[in-house]
């Protein structure tokens, strides 16, 4: 890891060669019989103040990336460098729970399921106040004031502090989760499918709330989602993941205009297009089969069994991540293919 | 976009009843849900009444458990009546006359319909120490006739009042159940949480141990363990040992519940959320995991009590557990072991009915608690 380039000034988070292999244990003695390569050699940077979208099917490893960055898991390999509030760079990879504690206040997560991510046995005061209690810098009254302020920020009444989560709807609960994530003034927030459990209008409200909060506090977001329509709306840049690997990475507009990876093309073709002028006839690509099993990936490019453009080269050799016209793409034939994006 | 435009509309003021629901503590919600389970509530009331009767057994019972009367053996239950000579009367019993069947020489009791013995409350009777402390003669009820007795459940072969002995036996049997559950709670919680929390090797080892214990036939195991207890030991000490023996087998069920809860809670998002805020393991276990488990543990403990009570009863009935002079329901049932006494005095089976009622009550109570344990099920 010594040969890594320094983190550029405008980058908040730099992920390099990130790997997470989960062991598969079996039998009486829990012998390891294999491993799931949930995240395999993922590299990307997130710039200060931007929204980075991470997209891919279920099982592509995008949630695992978020959990690795927030150090809910230990890394198998790789490095995660994070710019602290005092502008120093900290390597998160090898830190233990005690060393992580002060950093945890600077990076937070918003969860997918607003029902299971709030302890039903705690009042909002204790739920939203928990991070403040743990960091232990405020008195009881100050915590109460801060919780009420946070509730106001996310559009809930400050009087709700004595209520329990069961009093709230899914959208409101998600706001409580947002308030909790904001409690310690983090600079980075990972939102793991943060609105996919909500219905469209409520999801839109919460997305707008998140964008307002970003403006107000200069937050940097990583949005994990399979909803490409939403990603186009909110992300500055996106990364596309397939079976633990980053297959394409670049500016949102660029990727939507002209994808370089066949998998991105297939994903984009599935986005419902409300504007009839942007619709293209008969261009919906339906992928064959299921996403590959990360415990037993196909040889060569993991996408080759489903790829309409696959050649023998794709079946034998794993493509490297290459830089093509300011974008990164993991495909042997990126230059030759003329893929279709979403029209202007 | 501005915050004002995008924030969700603030809801109108809600009625105070709804506010009560929204701010209700978890235990309040559990109680509200438990209340709907009528059978469980009835069982809870029954158990509370029985518990109070057992605690104050010496005051409530009209006699003492060891006072025998050789002229009153195998007396049938006294019938409490309210109608005498066709007119309403305060509750009373008729005096009985002891006779012998001229052919079989069997003792018979015949009611003397002229002699009314009204039931009196707070009467002076035999000496005892109230709660083992205050010497007194006051009993809750009785009849004021030196030669007659009120035997609500009849008497045994030595003329001892069965109702009295049943109440005293309840003390021993119920407390044996509760103490046994307390022991198995300690074992089950410790081993169950180690298995569920650490997983891996510990989990496999403890699981195999539980499977082994569950596969051993209980009666021979009890016999073996009970045979190891010397007969000459103090009955009180034997009583404690018996409960420990019962809990050595009974902890597995509780350990399973605890292990299962730990496993499912460990993967809850809110536990991860708490960890991502920098919460210590200690905080996560005490603030998030244990509170989510207590109601389940209480329900499992309630369901484990009947097992203990049945175990004590079975052991004592077989003569392997408690022995006279200790009075427990199992010991009382020993008197009902031969067919002759059952056919002569079927009321000797009443401790068995008491066991059935208590076991049912604990099961209903446990069911109700288990259903109410998670008031947040979506």
Candidate from A108, A156, A162 with C-beta closest to B276: A108
Whether pLDDT at B311 is above 60: yes
Q: Are residues B317 and B270 in the same domain?
A: yes
Q: Are residues B105 and B202 in the same domain?
A: no
Report the distance separating Cα B144 and Cα B125, nearest Å: 9
Most confidently modeled of A194-203, A320-329, B80-89?
A320-329
Work out how many CB contacts closer than 8 A connect A with B.
102
Say yes or no for a CB contact (<8 Å) between B2 and A212.
Answer: yes
Whether pLDDT at A236 is above 80: yes
Mean per-residue pLDDT for A86-98?
Answer: 87
Q: Is the dihedral of CA B292, B294, B299, B301 positive or negative?
A: positive
- Flag the least confident range among A15-19, A173-177, A296-300, B168-172: A296-300
Task: Select from B9, B270, B282 the residue whose CB has the most chain A CBs within 10 Å, as the one to mutate to test that interface.
Answer: B270
Which chain A residues are closer than 8 Å to B268 by Cβ?
Answer: 116
Which chain A residues are closer than 8 Å to B288 by Cβ?
Answer: 119
Whether pLDDT at B10 is above 60: no
Whether pLDDT at B105 is above 80: no
Backbone angles phi, psi at B297, to 5 degrees: -65, -40
Residue B314: pLDDT band (50, 70, 90) is confident
Q: How far away is chain A from the Cα of B255, in angstroms, using its nearest Cα? A: 20
Number of domains in chain B: 2
Q: Are residues B96 and B183 in the same domain?
A: no
Q: Are residues B354 and B267 in the same domain?
A: yes
Identify whether B345 is part of a domain: yes
The domain in which residue A40 lies consists of 11-25+34-329
Does B200 contact A at CB distance below 8 Å? yes
Q: Which CATH number do you get for residue A117?
A: 3.40.50.300
Q: Are residues B170 and B315 in the same domain?
A: yes
Identify whether A15 is part of a domain: yes
Q: Are residues B103 and B224 in the same domain?
A: no
Angle subtended by helix axes B350-372 and B38-55, to nearest 10: 130
Say yes or no for a CB contact (<8 Å) between A208 and B22.
Answer: no
Whether pLDDT at A3 is above 60: no
Identify whether B239 is part of a domain: yes
Q: Are residues B265 and B144 in the same domain?
A: no
pLDDT on residue B8: 43
Identify whether A207 is part of a domain: yes
H-assigned helices in chain B: 3-6, 16-22, 26-35, 38-55, 57-60, 162-198, 200-215, 218-227, 235-266, 269-276, 281-283, 290-317, 329-334, 339-344, 350-372
Q: How far away is chain A from the Cα of B284, in angstroms, using its nearest Cα? A: 11
Say yes or no for a CB contact (<8 Å) between A163 and B22.
Answer: yes
Does B4 contact A at CB distance below 8 Å? no
Q: Are residues B193 and B111 in the same domain?
A: no
Which contiguous run of DSSP H or E holds residue B121?
A: strand B120-130
Which residue of A lies nearest to B283 if distances are taken between CA atoms?
A134
Identify whether B253 is part of a domain: yes
Identify whether B75 is part of a domain: yes
Candidate from B1, B21, B204 with C-beta closest to A208: B1
Higher pLDDT among residues B3 and B243, named by residue: B243
Question: What's the pLDDT tens digit per position in A249-279?
Answer: 999 988 888 889 989 888 888 777 777 666 6
Q: What are the residues facing A188 on neighbouring strands? A: A107, A220
Q: Are residues B250 and B269 in the same domain?
A: yes
Candidate from A29, A118, A134 with C-beta closest to B277: A134
pLDDT on residue A59: 80
Average pLDDT, chain B: 82
Whether pLDDT at B212 is above 80: yes
Residue A223: pLDDT band (50, 70, 90) is very high
Say yes or no for a CB contact (<8 Å) between A212 and B11.
Answer: no
Higher pLDDT among residues A7 and A215, named by residue: A215
Mean per-residue pLDDT for A35-47?
Answer: 89
Identify whether A201 is part of a domain: yes
Number of domains in chain A: 1
pLDDT on residue B6: 41
Which residue of B lies nearest to A133 if distances are taken between CA atoms?
B279
Identify whether A279 is part of a domain: yes
Candidate from A30, A109, A180 with C-beta closest to B200: A30
Say yes or no for a CB contact (<8 Å) between A166 and B22.
Answer: yes
Identify whether A255 is part of a domain: yes
Identify whether A338 is part of a domain: no
Contact B273, A180 (CB under 8 A): yes
Mean per-residue pLDDT for A163-167?
Answer: 88
Average pLDDT, chain A: 86
The verdict on ipTM greater than 0.95 is: no
Whether pLDDT at B9 is above 50: no
Q: At which of B158, B190, B209 does a domain end?
A: B158
Q: At which of B158, B189, B222 does a domain end?
A: B158
Q: How far away is chain B from the Cα of A164, in angstroms, using its nearest Cα? A: 6
Say yes or no for a CB contact (<8 Å) between B276 and A184.
Answer: no
Identify whether B219 is part of a domain: yes
Does B21 contact A at CB distance below 8 Å? yes
Whether pLDDT at B7 is above 50: no
Identify whether B273 is part of a domain: yes
H-assigned helices in A105-139: 124-135
Question: What's the pLDDT tens digit per position in B186-207?
Answer: 999 899 888 888 877 888 889 9
Say yes or no for a CB contact (<8 Å) between A212 and B1.
Answer: yes
Q: At which of B109, B131, B158 does a domain end?
A: B158
Contact B103, B40 (CB under 8 A): no
Q: Is the dihedral of CA A29, A34, A38, A42 positive or negative?
A: positive
Cα separation of the two ends of chain B: 35
Question: What's the pLDDT tens digit per position in B63-103?
Answer: 888 888 777 888 888 888 888 878 888 888 888 888 888 88
Identify whether B265 is part of a domain: yes
The domain in which residue B144 lies consists of 71-158
Whether pLDDT at B375 is above 80: no
The token pair at B92 is 């009373």
Candidate from A119, A131, A156 with C-beta closest to B288: A119
pLDDT on residue B1: 36
pLDDT on residue A2: 45
Say yes or no for a CB contact (<8 Å) between B376 and A166.
Answer: yes
pLDDT on residue B64: 82
């Amino acid at each position: 890891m010594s040969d890594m380039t320094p983190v550029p000034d405008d980058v908040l988070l730099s992920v390099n060669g990130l790997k997470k292999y989960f062991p598969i244990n079996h039998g009486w003695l829990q012998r390891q019989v294999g491993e799931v390569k949930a995240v395999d050699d993922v590299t990307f940077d997130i710039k200060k103040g931007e929204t980075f979208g991470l997209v891919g099917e279920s099982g592509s490893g995008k949630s695992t990336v978020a959990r690795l960055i927030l150090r809910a898991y230990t890394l198998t390999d790789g490095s995660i460098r994070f710019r602290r509030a005092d502008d120093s760079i900290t390597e998160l990879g090898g830190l233990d729970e005690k060393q992580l504690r002060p950093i945890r206040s600077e990076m937070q997560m918003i969860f997918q399921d607003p029902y299971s991510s709030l302890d039903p046995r705690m009042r909002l005061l204790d739920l939203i106040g928990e991070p403040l209690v743990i960091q232990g810098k405020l008195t009881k009254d100050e915590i109460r004031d801060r919780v009420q302020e946070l509730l106001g920020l996310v559009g809930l009444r400050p009087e709700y502090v004595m209520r329990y989560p069961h009093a709230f709807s899914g959208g409101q609960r998600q706001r409580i989760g947002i308030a909790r994530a904001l409690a310690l003034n983090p600079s980075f927030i990972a939102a793991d499918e943060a609105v996919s459990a909500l219905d469209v209008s409520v999801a839109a409200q919460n997305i707008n709330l998140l964008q307002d909060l970003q403006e107000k506090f200069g937050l940097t977001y990583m949005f994990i989602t399979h909803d490409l329509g939403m990603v186009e709306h909110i992300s500055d840049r996106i990364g596309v993941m397939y079976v633990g690997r980053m297959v394409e990475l670049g500016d949102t507009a660029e990727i939507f205009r002209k994808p370089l990876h066949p998998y991105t093309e297939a994903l984009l073709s599935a986005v419902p297009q409300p504007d009839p002028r942007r619709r293209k006839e008969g261009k919906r690509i339906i992928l064959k089969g299921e996403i590959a099993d990360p415990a037993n990936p196909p040889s060569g490019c993991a996408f080759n069994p489903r790829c309409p453009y696959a050649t023998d080269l794709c079946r034998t050799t794993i493509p490297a991540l290459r830089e093509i016209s300011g974008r990164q793409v993991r495909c042997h034939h990126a230059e030759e293919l003329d893929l279709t994006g979403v029209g202007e | 976009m501005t915050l004002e435009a995008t924030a969700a509309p603030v809801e109108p003021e809600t009625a105070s009843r709804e506010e009560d629901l929204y701010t209700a503590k978890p235990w309040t919600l559990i109680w509200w849900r438990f209340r709907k389970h009528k059978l469980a509530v009835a069982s809870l009331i029954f158990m509370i009444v029985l518990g109070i009767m057992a605690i104050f057994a010496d005051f409530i019972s009209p006699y003492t458990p060891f006072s025998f009367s050789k002229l009153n053996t195998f007396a049938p239950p006294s019938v409490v009546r309210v109608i005498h000579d066709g007119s309403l009367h305060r509750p009373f019993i008729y005096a009985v006359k002891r006779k012998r069947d001229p052919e079989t020489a069997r003792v018979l009791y015949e009611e003397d319909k002229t002699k009314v013995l009204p039931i009196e409350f707070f009467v002076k009777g035999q000496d005892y120490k109230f709660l083992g402390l205050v010497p007194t003669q006051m009993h809750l009820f009785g009849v004021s006739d030196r030669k007659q007795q009120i035997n609500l459940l009849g008497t045994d072969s030595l003329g001892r009042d069965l109702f009295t002995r049943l109440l005293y036996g309840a003390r021993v049997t119920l407390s044996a159940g509760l103490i046994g559950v307390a022991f198995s709670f300690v074992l089950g919680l410790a081993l169950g949480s180690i298995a569920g929390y650490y997983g891996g090797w510990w989990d496999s080892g403890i699981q195999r141990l539980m499977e082994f214990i569950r596969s051993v036939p209980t009666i021979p195991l009890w016999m073996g363990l009970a045979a190891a207890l010397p007969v000459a030991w103090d009955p009180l000490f034997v009583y404690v040992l018996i409960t420990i023996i019962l809990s050595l087998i009974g902890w597995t069920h509780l350990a399973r519940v605890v292990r299962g809860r730990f496993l499912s809670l460990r993967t809850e998002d809110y536990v991860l959320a708490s960890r991502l805020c920098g919460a210590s393991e200690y905080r996560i276990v005490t603030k998030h995991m244990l509170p989510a488990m207590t109601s389940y543990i209480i329900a499992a403990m309630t369901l484990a009590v009947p097992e203990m009570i049945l175990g004590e009863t079975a052991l004592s009935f077989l003569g392997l557990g408690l022995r006279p002079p200790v009075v427990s329901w199992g010991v009382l049932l020993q008197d009902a072991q031969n067919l002759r006494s059952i056919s002569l005095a079927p009321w000797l089976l009443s401790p068995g009915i008491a066991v059935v009622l208590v076991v049912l009550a604990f099961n209903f109570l446990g069911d109700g608690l288990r259903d109410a344990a998670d008031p947040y099920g979506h």
